[in-house]
Amino acid sequence: MTALPPVVDAVTWRRELDALRVREKAATRELDAIAAQRRRLPMVELPEYTLEGEDGPVRLADVFAGRSQLIVYNHMWFPGKRWQCPGCTGWTAQFTRTGFLEPYDARFVIVTQGPIGEALAYKRRVGNAMEWYSTANSPFGADMGAPPDAGFAVNVFLRDGDTVYRTWHTDGRGTEQLGHLHGLIDVLPWGRQEEWQDSPSGWPQHGTYDEGTPSQLIGALYGDPEA
């Protein structure tokens, strides 16, 4: 039988929750301080890049679609695979409505090393709602920390006219704070159930990345199996 949290009376539960809340609020204030430091980061001017979109070649400056700020998720891509990285597929599946960024003069898109035709077919196959671009014929992906056959990343850019600047980058677990997926799982009693986590004895645990939602299931839930 799977272990369960201890059962206590409501007063004890509230006391323990209040003690945890002190640490949670401290973490929130630290994240605010980190965000303030991020807003003060310098930036680097980029050369002109040309990507491939659904309608053909497009300059990076035009991927902004008239906006001043751009978030790019570099989606892992492995040639010849029908189902791509489940982590990337699941993480990007969170974002079904990004119009809320428009009042902030910003846009959020996916860029992948896969050829644009294959990338768009995969988008349909898994029911992804974001706009995809290909960097298969450009060094953009590798230059932004996501080379072919390896790596995923988030990059943020600022546009001034036709000049584009790189302002921020993260990868690995740094992407977690940008979505709701991990936040929701982390408040569950058993958490992510991964072996690296500090959990009480008897909690269900498995190897890192051994579980989670596979790309095939995302496709079955949201996508077009004929794509």
User: Residue 28 domain-assigned?
Assistant: no
Arithmetic mean of pLDDT, 141-160: 94
**Total domains present in the chain:** 1
User: Residue 205 domain-assigned?
Assistant: no
User: Residue 74 domain-assigned?
Assistant: yes
Burial class (CB in 10 A: 0-12, 13-18, 19+), 116: buried
Burial 159-177 (b: 16+ CB within 10 A, else e): beeeebebbeeeeeeebee
116 vs 227, higher pLDDT: 116
Residue 47 has pLDDT above 90, yes or no: yes
CB neighbour list of residue 20: distance below 8 Å, 6 or more residues apart: none
From the CB of residue 224, how many other CB atoms can be counted at a distance below 10 Å? 12
CATH number of the domain enclosing 115: 3.40.30.10
Asked if 109 and 130 count as a contact pair (C-beta separation under 8 A), the reply is yes
The mean of the pLDDT values for the chain is: 94
User: Residue 35 domain-assigned?
Assistant: no
d(CA 78, CA 63): 24
Q: Which pLDDT value is given to residue 63?
A: 98
User: Residue 152 domain-assigned?
Assistant: yes
One DSSP character per residue, 124-162 reads HHHT--S-EEE-TTSSHHHHTT--TTS--EEEEEEEETT
Going 97 to 101 to 105 to 110, the CA torsion angle's sign is: negative
Structural domain of 145: 44-173
Question: Tokens for 69?
Answer: 């700020």
The kind and range of the H/E element at 221 are helix 215-222
* Cross-strand pairs, 165: 45, 158
User: Residue 141 domain-assigned?
Assistant: yes
Residue 102 has pLDDT above 80, yes or no: yes
Question: Tokens for 90?
Answer: 């699941």
Q: Which of 132, 140, 155 is nearest to 227 (CA)?
A: 132
- In tens, the pLDDT along 186-217 reads 999 988 888 888 888 888 888 877 777 899 99
User: Residue 101 domain-assigned?
Assistant: yes
Q: Which of 160, 133, 163, 137 is nearest to 148 (CA)?
A: 137
pLDDT band at 27 (very low <50, low <70, confident <90, very high): very high
User: Residue 100 domain-assigned?
Assistant: yes
